[in-house]
Each structure stands twice: as C-alpha cells, then as structure tokens.
Amino acid sequence: MAAEIVNQKDGLEPDVIDPAFALHRGGKMAVQATVPVRDADDLSLAYTPGVAKVCSAIAEQPELVDDYTWKSQVVAVVTDGSAVLGLGDIGPGASLPVMEGKAILFKQFGGVDAVPLALDTQDTDEIVATVQRLAPSFGGVNLEDISAPRCFEIEARLKEKLDIPVFHDDQHGTAIVTLAALRNAAKLSDRALGSLRAVISGAGAAGVAIAKILVEAGIGDVAVCDRKGVVSRDRGDLTQVKRDLAGFTNKGNRTGSLESVLEGADVFIGVSGGTVPEEAVARMAEDAFVFAMANPNPEIHPDVARKYASVVATGRSDYPNQINNVLAFPGVFAGALQVRATDITEGMKLAAAEALAAVVADELSADRVIPSPFDERVAPAVTSAVAAAARAEGVARR
C-alpha cells in the first residue's frame, strides 16, 4: 500500500494523500528538558562545572544514580524487528515507527518515559550483550516484537544478568489482560476459574505466557495447540519451550487437532491467526467464552462467536472487549519503577491482572469484561497493585 501511495502519478507527497504518513513525518516523539537553561548560572548547574559534583557523588555511591539521573524513570523499548505486529520480520528500520508508538503509549498511559531501540541484529547472543551494555542508562527493559523461540531465551538471560525489570510485552502484557478479562467473564457467569477448561490456539510468545499465567491463577485445565495440533507429552517433535509447556498444561494429555480438543471447552483463546470452523465453535460448552485475538482478522469472527458464546473478546478496537496490551504494560512498569524493583515477578503480573479486572468489576456486562484503554482508572490501579506486590515479594529497593 505504501508503495502505491508513493508512486501516485499526481506526484503528491505520501502525507498529502494518507494521514498516517502526515502524522509520522519527522517521527512521533522528542527529548524535552525538565530543567531550565536560561543563562550562564543555569548552564553551570545543568552542565559543567556543577554536573561534576553529581558525577563524583555517583562514582562514590553508585546507588545515587537512581536519584540524580533519569535512570529510575525511563524504559528501553528494545526490538530486532523480527515479529512486528502483523507485519512479521520487517527489520529494525521499518519497526521504528512501532517502537516510537510504544514509547508514547508508555508516556500517555503510564507517565513513563521510554526510548525506542531498534537493534540491527537477530543474533540472540548479540542482543543480550547489547542490552546488557545499555542497561546502566535505564530503569527497565521492555522487549518488543522479537520472534519466538528466541524471545524466551533473550528474556530469560537478561533477567539473570540485569538487576532491573525485563518484560517481554508480547508475552506478559497479553497474558495479564487476557487473565483480567477471563476473571470478569467467569464472574459475570458465576463460575470459578478452577472450573474452566481452556484451549489456546498458538504456542508462540503470547500463547505460552497466557498458559503460564492461567495455570498460576488456578485455571481448571488449559491445552495449547500449534500448527500440528495439541501440545502433549506424547509428541516427539517439540522444542524445549513446548516440552516445558506440555509439562504444566493439558492435564488429561489430550491429543489431536484444535477442533477436537475444543469440543466441550469453556474457553477459546486465539493468538495464532487462521480460522476456526464454525462447527468446532458450536461444539464448545454452553455459554463459552471466545477470545479471538488475532489482528486484523480474528480466528473466529465475532458475529459467529456470539451465536454460541456468552462473552466475546478480540484484539480489535472496533468490537467490545478489546484485549489491548496498553491496559497492562504502562502500569506494570510504572509500579516497578516507583519502587525501583529488580524484577517483574509472576506475583506482580497476577496482581496487575487482578487490579485490572477490579476496575470494571462492578460494571460488568457481556460487552464490558475489560476496561477501555482510555479509562483513567486503569494505570493508577495497576501501578499501585504492582508496586505493592513488588514490596511483598522482596524485589523492591524502596
């Protein structure tokens, strides 16, 4: 589409034709000073010679860097451009508009400053080493749009090496919002999470993280499906990530296709793309929940899902119950930074999901099991819950 716009025979600039180009021209963000530099006195404090006093103090007491620089208030948004939105492997340059967008969402919805960093490598060792070297400048690292299975290893290794929060939003942000919506769907229908059997379509970053958080939250059972069917302990073609997944999901060790395991299931969660046949949806349990989150085309069209499900959610903003990561990551990082957390733990993620669900717990309907991203109650609720959980779990430094 972009090529068609650029090659318009009328010769107009792309941003004259398409407002998306107009908005992006020159980028979507800038650095802004928080102190005045109006005269020589201001200059001598903000830079030399005044800055030398602060540098010397930090050299003697390294922990002062959190008090006298922006470190404790800023997040690095890191990508290699390998799995960008629905665009796939488009590289670091083409991913930068998305990373800028992520950074302004951090600021708009959580009051957190963020810097987009698009790395020109897809080598796991190089990414880990690069982020490790950049880490002294940041209070947290948000990994973004990095393809599976490398994203799992990159996150795990950085969490081992760094004493600041590392969070892969495609995994954990999606998982937090999904759990929050599922909690409220269950509440709306007077069911407990422990009574539900869920099926997840997609064993990539989001699917694995959703399965983990649902198990942590006490789901009755959850089976995850990849392109070859149900991830079960009997399969000999599994990666290490999927072998681990099989170890804590699929209690009944079900085998077969997505369609077969979906029969009688209470919950469908789609993070894979593709299409689920309507006859498979019809064989789900009565009053099932369908969270078909692929963008732009849900795995089950909402009009089809509503024939059989009591609650329907998608990843789209033009349908009710949008499962949108912006409901989670700004508040999660704001809470972690507030207490200078060294990690984002499973307990902090669960606390975020519970707080998010509670925002609309007294306003529930089939079309409202999750708040709008523009609900001003969201970020403060998630921030407070995450900060409290960090203190309770001993990862807070203040």
Question: pLDDT tens, 352-390?
Answer: 999 999 999 999 999 999 999 999 999 999 999 999 999
First to last CA, the chain: 50
pLDDT at position 13, please? 72
pLDDT at position 11, please? 60
Nearest to 281, CA basis, from 302, 295, 253, 254: 302
Taking 90 as the threshold, does the pLDDT of residue 344 lie above it? yes
Question: Regarding beta strands 229-230 and 221-226, do their DSSP bridges make them parallel or antiparallel, or are they unpaired?
Answer: antiparallel
Q: Is 319 a catalytic residue?
A: no
Mean pLDDT to the nearest integer, 191-219: 97
> Rg of the Cα trace of the chain?
23
The SS3 assignment for 308 reads coil
Catalytic position from the list 9, 28, 47, 308: 47
Which one has a higher pLDDT value, 6 or 170? 170
Question: Regarding beta strands 166-168 and 197-201, do their DSSP bridges make them parallel or antiparallel, or are they unpaired?
Answer: unpaired
Q: Is 349 a catalytic residue?
A: no
Mean pLDDT to the nearest integer, 134-142: 98
Q: Find the helix or strand (DSSP H, E) in which 226 lies.
A: strand 221-226
Mean pLDDT to the nearest integer, 144-172: 96
- Can you give 231-266 as a three-state secondary structure string? CCCCCCCCCHHHHHHHHHCCCCCCCCCHHHHHCCCC
DSSP characters over 128-191 = HHHHHHHGGG-SEEEE-S--TTHHHHHHHHHHHH-SS-EEEHHHHHHHHHHHHHHHHHHHHTT-
pLDDT at position 9, please? 46
pLDDT at position 78, please? 98
Q: 240 Cβ partners below 8 Å, 6+ apart?
A: 149
Helices (H), the chain: 2-6, 14-17, 19-24, 40-46, 50-60, 65-68, 91-110, 124-134, 150-161, 169-188, 205-217, 240-248, 258-262, 278-282, 302-305, 329-338, 346-359, 378-392
| Mean predicted lDDT score pLDDT of the chain | 94
Q: Which residues carry a binding-site annotation?
A: 144-145, 170, 295, 324
Domains (ranges, CATH) in the chain? 70-164 (3.40.50.10380), 169-398 (3.40.50.720)
Task: Count CB atoms within 10 A of the CB of residue 159.
Answer: 18
Task: Count CB atoms within 10 A of the CB of residue 345.
Answer: 19
Q: Per residue in 285-335, pLDDT tens? A: 999 999 999 988 999 999 999 999 999 999 999 999 999 999 999 999 999
Return the minimum-mean-pLDDT range out of 200-204, 215-219, 233-237: 233-237
Q: Which residues carry a binding-site annotation for (S)-malate?
A: 295, 324
Position 86 confidence tier, pLDDT thresholds 50, 70, 90: confident
Catalytic position from the list 102, 159, 242, 349: 102
Q: Which residues carry a binding-site annotation for a divalent metal cation?
A: 144-145, 170
Taking 90 as the threshold, does the pLDDT of residue 259 lie above it? yes
Taking 90 as the threshold, does the pLDDT of residue 2 lie above it? no
Q: 320 Cβ partners below 8 Å, 6+ apart?
A: 312, 313, 366, 367, 368
The SS3 assignment for 103 reads helix
| CA gap 106, 98 in Å, rounded | 12
pLDDT at position 295, please? 87
Phi/psi-derived region of residue 88, left when phi > 0, alpha when psi is between -120 and 50, beta in every other case: left
Taking 90 as the threshold, does the pLDDT of residue 16 lie above it? no
